[in-house]
Structure 1
């Protein structure tokens, strides 16, 4: 077997083993795969052989181009750093109790815990949790220590994303004791591996930048090629249930809207009551309104007239297993699930089966319905209506009318007001005095401003959230973008298969497409900006927000390139519409919440935005491939024309490919730096880390046209890009919804 074939076989084997390991981990556990695969001698040996074979191959081929040598050299240095970490590093935990001193830490192995000695002593002075004002959402975890080294004493502070280093020992905030009198720190000693690995990262960043600007590199040659300047001219011109209510009683729309302007503590965040009302209504019936009633009217209907609204058929049953087994309609009332003749709560026995391990589709649907019914029960008991703030000594607590309020915490007059105001609202509503009800809502808002302290959002944040609530951005934009995408795609394919090869330059469809893309991009930019303003941090903390970011990046790239490569506009519509559709219909939760303290790092913004940029660009190579396959299947053009079209699509695909690979490499290793700063381990073999590496390694094969001659031909290139896109789907969706792990979010 030749060196090139041996190298390819080893490369494919490592990718296959890593993919299999992530699936094995789901069923056998992290400790199992860490011990038998990732931490095994043979897995390390395979990487060493791959590095050695790569060096031998480069020497054999007499590669002299600086960018190529620097790029592959950076991977060699990173692997060397990983080897040094594997050999010399030590990672464990130290548990501290208030006032106690220790000079040891514990390393957990498969054979048990091993105690190691620190080169200094640690004494815990205090541990505190800092909360967002008026909530129980943690903003940071802070440990204060005294470090004693002989006669020298140093004061130290450790918090999330704030490590303390001393004598090559790094301390990270890991956990804490429930009684708040103890802190658990992660200890990392890696004096050799970290500097070598970081050196490799630096070389990688330089190499990726040089790859894009190297005058003799493939990307610059591509930009200068005739197929880009002339072949693309062929394409630059080618683009161009609500339900009726049964008369349930509720407040008038204008009056209910006044209650929607109140503030409430919801999801550990102070927000307009309108936000709670919309989430409540969506969870029940899948829409932000019901039978012509606004979300505020639905919420206040359940608050004021719960018996009537419990008879309304607004609970949408999503799946068929539950409906088929219990013979239920698609839309049910809450009362449907309570029947004394059938034993009370009719899904109660099935719910118990679910908690005892029955995890099939039917029982999951039972659990989902129960969660929504319990939401209604919590509202009826007043638990959701934490609308009464009370500030003492600068600390604000939000109360619901049914909460237990200690005499020492709340003044008698305020307690009486909180407990009785909803009864007064109900009396006025029964009497038809809606003006009085509105006045009470206005007084409640003034009470909140008087007693809310610093926990209330600013006026700008409130206006931003109400605007965000008013417009279903994802729903509108996915329909608009997908509609335009398929309309222009069909037009492109039809014209490309015509003998006359007519174009759309200057046509009305082209002008409309550009205008719609600009409008859609502006709307999505507003959506992202509103989420950023509402929460105060970059909107990239969950699956929903990263889907929006992916769509935004794709549209931005499309607008930047559409004047030169008009077909990009079609690709941009389709892929951005796809990501917006996924955010709309999937299990992702669009609710805005405070992010975890560990995510409050500038490195997170860089890591996520760069990775999403890479995925967005690679998704456009996927669309290029799909278009090529469709053209090949239709065969409307002569062989020469088809060949030119496939080659032009390959050139366009490569324009996306090289920046995407640079962004993906940088994003992965910025994430590693962030992990090292936050947790003390730059690579933990988490499922998403592994699949991101698999994605990079799979796509990297396409850059080796010299070693893989088929990649120099248009059709194999397009087929490979279509197939490789499966790794992105697995990295993003497969990990989130199947494999899990600490990077799993939705």
Structure 2
């Protein structure tokens, strides 16, 4: 499976679907695994009802998958409004087949998020007819229409809005069997944790826990450039920044656009002593002066050397009459003609920044004037062609207000400027209707823009993680211990962790309020969620395992650092219609919970290996290191069992969501494949009766440390290298 994901990267999805995932020999491999499992269970005379049920669930799931593979009917129907058809397309358009009924498209409707062009849902209104009856219905995202065991899903639509694409799927037996397997799996994974006679409950009864050895062992230690360009004063710039704008298909404060604008140019949310709003308004009202400001950051060394440019340049440095005008022009043309090497990609990145600045001169981004009624309100820029139905006074206001703002700014009459801003605000409130964000949303967004949560918290958490880790290693390798210092570090650590957790929770709440969706729709948000879960588990289990505070600081700091370094923080936008499902929230939350727990087993293993090497170098007694490795072994196993239960449940909840949304519960997308690989890879270490080598704490820790590479590949490798439907980098 791992090899197939890399083959897909080079050969394409269709190749691996046909020659690997859909091949007879791949099905035979799964069949051999199932037969081997049954044979081995019989040979070992497995008596545990929980384990029998768990392994049986996989056999049932594989049986359902085989029936789906052999007998399921899948295809695509394209219908135009008013047309009736009974044909569907299979094999990527290579074959046409006939349905046992007719489908007529009566109407098609796209529902947009208020005041934007971002689709919220697509709805096809249809009539099904056969020899016996006629039935009306509708199909939308996450709403399936079923007729005689054939399910129809809303997939896409024609650009003119007069046609629709529907996915059809008929698989009554395969899905029923697969869902039965999922139910057995969910039950057995949960029962695995609560079974009084199970392995997990035996771990919790360990003498190490009863004697409080873990708490004793890890006590606890743990736990300038001169400002030349003109701009608005702070007060006026702030007032301008609080006006609403339609940006990224949602209505938000101009401040958000200003921050994104400045960060894209300069790599920071401010420039020298100028705020983002001052930078933006500087380019709007004093464009000629700001074109001389060295605000464009060139990150690529090759590009800088090629053109002889410094790291920060002004837009005017990119225009030279002696070189024919725009010096990047020829290279930009070469890029669009097919030259996509590293240099040309870097040039396009700079060209995007230039085009962004140029667009301000035409007023294209400033859609700040709403007009319309009810759900048909559209936001216009000052230079846009307004509807003829707009009354003369409003049209003149829209057309001339920026000219008046420009005159006020240049004359230094900021009282008049502020008065004009107030008039724009009144216009927005009178004409924005239900497209305007609530007061709570505006306050949340302005607060979120002001505080760089991830940047601050990663520095705090990583610093505290290394301080507590070094002190804990010192405690475990030192004869003398100062209890007073230990208490200070312990209490300080838990207080800082709690404050960090509260701050991250506040950040998540703000994003939730702003977007009106649970913040888990992209790479940045899932990184924050992962860090949140790590800190939550660390705080919950701190009273039993003091070492978890250190682990929590390190791993949450790592996840926050990755989001900061990668500059992953995306603009908040309306989510795709297919993502508006409660199953998505459950799926992502449980998966992130599992990854958080597995990341803590990685820190357990890494700490154990560091302690082992340290003790070997110092020639300490073997008993000491054995006790320490055993304690970390116990802690890691206590984390691993719920992590595996969460991962298994999360993967197959995702499969149910996919089946409801797309009509296919498993598509062999690289993220799905690597999640399954991670699940299987970590499951190996739980089979200590079959693989007694993992009864040794040392070998167990080596394995779990290496296993963390599976998570890194699943989360980062797929996102940034392999791609696929789940690539939300």
- Normalization by structure 1: what TM-score? 0.95
Match of 1:712? 695
Separation in structure 2 between the aligned mates of residue 377 and residue 680 of structure 1, nearest angstrom:
45
The equivalent of 2:556 in structure 1 is: 576
| Residue of structure 1 equivalent to 2:233 | 252
Query: What is residue 668 of structure 2 aligned with on the other side?
Result: 685
Quote the residue 2:177 is aligned against.
196
Q: 1:689 to 1:727 in 2, by over 3 A?
A: same
CA distance in 1, matches of 2:16, 2:237: 55
Is the contact between residue 115 and residue 375 of structure 2 (CA under 8 Å) also seen in structure 1?
no
Distance 1:393 1:524, change over 3 A: closer
**Distance in 2 (alpha carbons) for counterparts of 1:398 and 1:524:** 34
> Could you say what the CA RMSD is over the residues aligned between the two structures, in angstroms?
1.3
- The gaps in structure 1 that reach 5 residues or longer are 1-17
Q: Which of these residues, 195, 203, 209, is aligned with residue 190 of structure 2?
A: 209
Structure 1: distance between partners of 2:50 and 2:695: 20
Query: Which position in structure 1 is the counterpart of 2:608?
Result: 628
Q: Do residues 300 (structure 1) and 281 (structure 2) align?
A: yes
Q: Per-residue CA shift, 1:173-201, capped at 9, x if unaligned?
A: 01111111111100001011000000000
Pick aligned residue for 2:266 from 285, 293, 308: 285
- Output aligned runs, 1:151-190, within 5 Å: 151-190=132-171
Question: Superposition pairs for residues 353-392 of structure 1, below 5 Å?
Answer: 353-392=334-373
Contact 1:245 1:312 in 2 (8 A): no
Which residue in 2 is equivalent to 1:722? 705
Aligned-partner SS, 1:192: helix
Distance 1:89 1:505, change over 3 A: farther
Instruction: Identify which of 466, 484, 503 aligns with 2:446.
Output: 466
Shift of 1:115: 2.3
> SS where residue 156 of structure 2 aligns?
strand
Note if 1:740 corresponds to 2:714: no
2:86 is aligned with 1:125:
no
Deviation string, structure 1 residues 38-74 (Cα, Å, up to 9, x no partner): 0100000010001000110011011110111010000
1:665-676 to 2 correspondences below 5 Å: 665-676=648-659
Question: Residues of 1 paired with 2:308 and 2:195: CA distance?
Answer: 67
1:143 aligns with 2:116: no
Are 1:595 and 2:578 matched, yes or no?
no
* 1:131/1:139 contact within 8 Å kept: yes
Please say if 1:565 is aligned against 2:545: yes
Matched position secondary structure for 1:407: coil
Q: In the aligned structure 1, how far is the partner of 2:34 from the partner of 2:521?
A: 35
Q: Residue 435 of structure 2 aligns with which residue?
A: 455
Matched residues in 1 for 2:301 and 2:508: separation? Answer: 35
Cα distance per residue 1:144-171 (max 9 Å; x no partner)? 1011132422111100011111111000
Residue 13 of structure 2 is aligned to residue 33 of structure 1: no
354-363 or 508-517, which moves further after superposition? 354-363
Moved more, 449-458 or 146-155: 146-155
Deviation (angstroms), 1:228? 2.8
* 1:509 maps onto 2:489 in alignment: yes
3-state DSSP class of the match of 1:239? coil
Which deviations, in whole Å up to 9, do the C-alpha atoms of 1:64-116 show, x marking residues without a partner? 1011101000000000000110111011011111111112212116xx62222
CA distance in 2: counterparts of 1:229 and 1:492, whole angstroms = 22
Partner of 1:268: 249
- Give the Cα–Cα distance (whole angstroms) in 2 for the partners of residues 689 and 386 of structure 1: 40
Is the CA contact 1:77–1:196 (under 8 Å) kept in the aligned structure 2?
yes
Measure the CA separation in 1 of the matches of 2:259 and 2:623: 57
Partner of 1:13: none
Shift in Å at residue 443 of structure 1? 1.1
Determine the structure 1 residue equivalent to 2:638: 655
In the alignment, structure 1 residue 640 sits paired with structure 2 residue 618? no
- 1:442 correspondence with 2:422: yes
State the partner residue of 2:46. Answer: 63
Q: Structure 2: how far apart are the matches of 1:339 and 1:21?
A: 50
Structure 2 counterparts to residues 324-363 of structure 1, below 5 A: 324-363=305-344
CA distance in 2 between partners of 1:211 and 1:321 (Å): 56
Asked whether the 8 Å contact 2:319–2:327 carries over to 1, the reply is yes
SS at match of 2:714: helix
Tell me the equivalent position of 1:5: none
CA 1:715–1:504 in structure 2 vs 1: closer, same or farther (change >3 Å)? farther
Q: 1: distance between equivalents of 2:228 and 2:254? A: 24
In structure 2, list runs of 5 or more residues that go unmatched: none
